[in-house]
Each structure stands twice: as structure tokens, then as C-alpha cells.
A and B are shown apart, each in its own frame.
Chain A
Amino acid sequence: MKYLTEYRDPELGRALIRRIRERVSRPRVLMEVCGGQTYTLIRQGIDELLAPAVELIHGPGCPVCVTPVRQIDRAVALAMDHRVILASFGDMLRVPGSEGSLLEARARGGDVRVVYSPLDAVELARRHPEREVVFFAVGFETTAPANAMAVWRARELGVGNFSVLVSHVTVPPAMRAILEAEGSRVEGFLAAGHVCTVMGLEEYFPLADEFRVPIVVTGFEPVDLLEGIFMLVDQLETGRWEVENQYARAVRREGNRPAREILARVFRVVDREWRGVGTIPGSGLGLRDEFREMDAEERFPIRQLGAGESPECRAGEVLQGRLRPTECEAFGSRCTPETPLGAPMVSSEGACAAYYRSGRRKEPS
């Protein structure tokens, strides 16, 4: 397929790996932020091919993984409300909450529907005027414009039985939190290409300056990732900390202006809890006051639920790049994609699932 196949060329990949190895004067520690990038790096064994010249640490960019257990519990509670159709992206369904997953809620009689686009959830509401459709709006900046458009459209079309359970997160505050954490080893970031198609590069300049850390906006195919890694390594070896754009075919410096405009009209910046990590200031998006009547948390007051996490799950450490999935006691034994203890083993963008599905097994202790 055009724009895919050429970026999967093994010859190019090998040449880049050679270049990266030649370029490093000592082992370098880099973090890829996005779970989609983690998936490709692990699936193709790029991390193993680059060791020990480059160590890749996996970042928190898995929207499904960082959605707080409390929000999953709210979604489950809403799904069990007989008035409600709970619409969600497919990969949220198996994420464990403290009282089961959405899939289990469906098995218990809850009306849970999978949608491809947030606009499908608005359509669902129009087709079922007698029901309340709640869309579970999760995701990073990549997804936020789509979800914002659903909210915007529902109001424009006067769809009164549509609301959203919002759990949006944003990348730069999480990168800041990682850099500020004690003992942070990250020397450079591969920034998430699709987040930047929307937001552009500007937010990253202050981070690069303040922490003297190079940031390269990178695509998702193997050749993209390797070129991004080479660009980071080259910056480190020449003592630079710039924001560079490897993914220039899709990312403009200013991002996507119409998308950013709707984001600013529908959402405002809020503090947000990240599952396993804690609350990161200014790291989320919530509905602006003008859209409050479409906030499912306002429309359906839900009793405060206990946020029960599996005591054994170490997802928080995995999401912050402090623990490799295979270093976790439960990995591959008590925790598998079929019986997950935590979200990173569920989502296709979760580091634990990427390791497990690529045949990685526990490291001997």
C-alpha cells in the first residue's frame, strides 16, 4: 500500500540500524511516547536489533491503559442503567475495572455498542430517541478532534439524548512528568507523530529547552522509527536538543488548524488522573461549561465507586518506563491477554500486550 510499504523496507531498515550503531559513542536511552510505536518496535524486534547501542524505554502513550479505573467503573455503571446505550471504541471493552469490564457488563445485560467513529455514536442517538446514548470519549490529542466534533454535531443537530463520558489526556504534560521524576534516564524522546498532526510542534519547544532534551516527531512504520532514532542519536552526539520532524509527510509545524479550533471551542484543559500514575496537572481535556449539559457525569450522577486495582498489577511503573513488562512477577503467568490484571496487557497499544504477543517471556531473575 502506498505510503506504507516503502516505509517497511528491510534494506533501508538495516542501513539505518548500521548508521545508528556507528553514530553512538556510548549507549543511549530513548523513550518512544506512543503505544502504537511501542507495538511496532517490539513486534519487529527493533529494540533487540539496536541493543546495546540504544535502549528503548516505553512511554505512557496508550490511551486505553491510562484511563482511570474510576472512569471504567463509571462506564460500566452507565452501561448497566437500562435507559443507557454505552458507545465505546472497541479496545476499551476488555479493560478491567474494579467491578469488571464493559464486556462483562454486556454479558450481564448492559447495552454496550462498539463504534468506529464518534459520529457513529451521534447517529446511534438519533436512531434511538427513546434511549440515552453515552459515548465513552477517551484518547490523546489524535482522537480529541473526532470526539469534539461528535459533541459539536450533536448540539448542532439538536440531539438531546447524546452525552459523553470524557477521559481525554494530553502528551506534553506527561513528558514533563517523566522528565521531572527522580532518577529519570530518558535522554531523548520520539514524539508521537499522529498527536502532532493535530497539535503541531510548538508545545515541544519549551520542553526541549528546559530539559535540554532532543525531541523528534516520528512516524509509525519501522523505517520512520529508525530514522527518528537516528535523528535523536545524532542530536545527542553533537550536543543538540532541538525539536525535529521526521514525519514531515504528515505533520506541519502548526498542526491541523481547523481541528485545533474545534478542540478549543469544545474542551478546556483540566488536571487528569492517569491510571497507575496519579494526577498530572493540566494533562487532560474536559468539556467547557457551554457543553456541560452533554457531560454524562453531570447528567447521570453516579455513586462514588471504589477504585480497586489488582494489588499485583504494576502498570503504573510500566507506563512510566520504570519497569519492563517481562520484569513483572505476574507477566505471562497470572497476567495474559486472556486474563489481564491491568490495562497494558489488554490494549493493542499496551507495552505488556506487545511483549506477550511478540513471544517475549519473563526474564530469568
Chain B
Amino acid sequence: MNGGTARTAPALTARDLVVGYGERQVLNGVSLEVGAGELLAILGPNGAGKSTLLSLLGGSIRPWRGSVEILGRPIEEFERRALARVLASVRQESGAAFPFTVLEVVLMGRAPHLGPLRFEGTRDLAIAHAALARFGLLPLAGRFIQELSGGERRRVFIARALAQEPAIALLDEPTAFLDLKHVGEIFALLKQLRAERRMAVIATFHDLNVAAQYADRILLLKDGVAVGCGAPEEVLTADNLRQVYETEVYVGRNPATGALAVLSAVR
């Protein structure tokens, strides 16, 4: 939570979202609010509706019912490119069909800020450079995206999202394929960006402990309904987790960081 700082319009507000595919309802009345600089983690088992919720928040699908507001304005009022200037998404599958270099992919993040025929200028290159440098990707700038490992590619696409200079970043499983060192690095980085630029981050996670350690707040989903939403301590209780994951868990503390730690309690 953001403590006592005077909050203007929240970065993103979603009210009572209902959506589905065909006849099947996937989300059933989910509401959330994320302030500037906050990190909200969306957790839940497979099929709980995490990715669908993220797609709704990013405007790539429209809800059956409910509303999404970006910086206090309804998301439908944004023209597509204008939306891309304030909101960046990193999807789970990310790659390129043709041999673009890492630098070119990161520069694509500048596209919403440029006209169709304008070349990237010094400012865009400086922004791409900074994004690459933050992720330790500068030595790879001239490499083709196809030549990279899954983890490297993930970092490139998060760097591309940063190059968009968004107010809100939506990350679908940002830590998938990443080893422990890079998970820590990315969150340190996101923390820095949240502090510097007041960037709000909404991310889905598989790993409860990663979410518990780094998120300000957690939204726990099951079958398209929010089971809990709040600080990790409020949401990640043994009761909630048993209900959502249908298995016995042990909730303790990570002795090194003091963050919540969730372990399977099945013998």
C-alpha cells in the first residue's frame, strides 16, 4: 500500500469485471485498484482467469460487464496508440517471426511515441540504451532475438515495455524461464522504476513466494472470483490457499528476508 501519500486518481481501476469465451464465463465480477508506484500480483491456479484479467486490463479484450479506467479515464476513450503510450504489456509468448536485433525489438517500444514514417531519434536511442543497460543486455544489442535463450528474450521484452515509458506495466508471468538471480534483478529494477517514475505494475505469477516477497498487494483468484485482495499477510493465509489450491500448505516466514513463505504441506 502507498502509506499516507496523497493519492490522486489511481493508475488503474477495474470494477466488477465479467467476461468469458463463448458460453463459458471466465471472470465473475472482479474489481481492483492499483495506485501509482504499486505492484499488484495476481495469483491463482491454472484456469483461474489470471491472463484473461490481464487482457481485460490492457484493453485487448472487452468485458461483458464492468469497467476499466486508466489514469481516471475509461479505457474505451483511449485511441490505441495513445493507450500504448501509458500502458505496456508483456505477454507470455514473446518472440519475433523475423530476424530483428535485440536493439530493434527494444526500439519497437518507441513506436507508440513516433509517427508511422518517423525514424527513432537520439532521445529514443538513449531510452533504449538505458532500458538495455538496466537489464544488462547491452552486450546483446546487435544479436538477433532468435539467438537468445528464453530468459534473455524475456528480459528483452520487459526492456521493450520499459522503453514505452508507461505509467502502468502489465506483465504476464514475468519470472517464467528466469533463473533466481534474474528474478531478483528484475524486481529490484521494477522497484526502482516504481519509485522513480511512479510506474504501477500488475503482474501474474505462478510462484507464490516470488509474489509474497515482492508485491505490495496480492489479488488471489479462483474460478474467476477474487478470494482475497490486500497485503500478502492478509491474503496468503493457510485457509485461503487451501481453498484456492485445494491442497495443504504451510505459511511461514523467509528467515533471510522476513517475507511470507509458502510451502506445500503434503507429506
Check if A and B associate: no
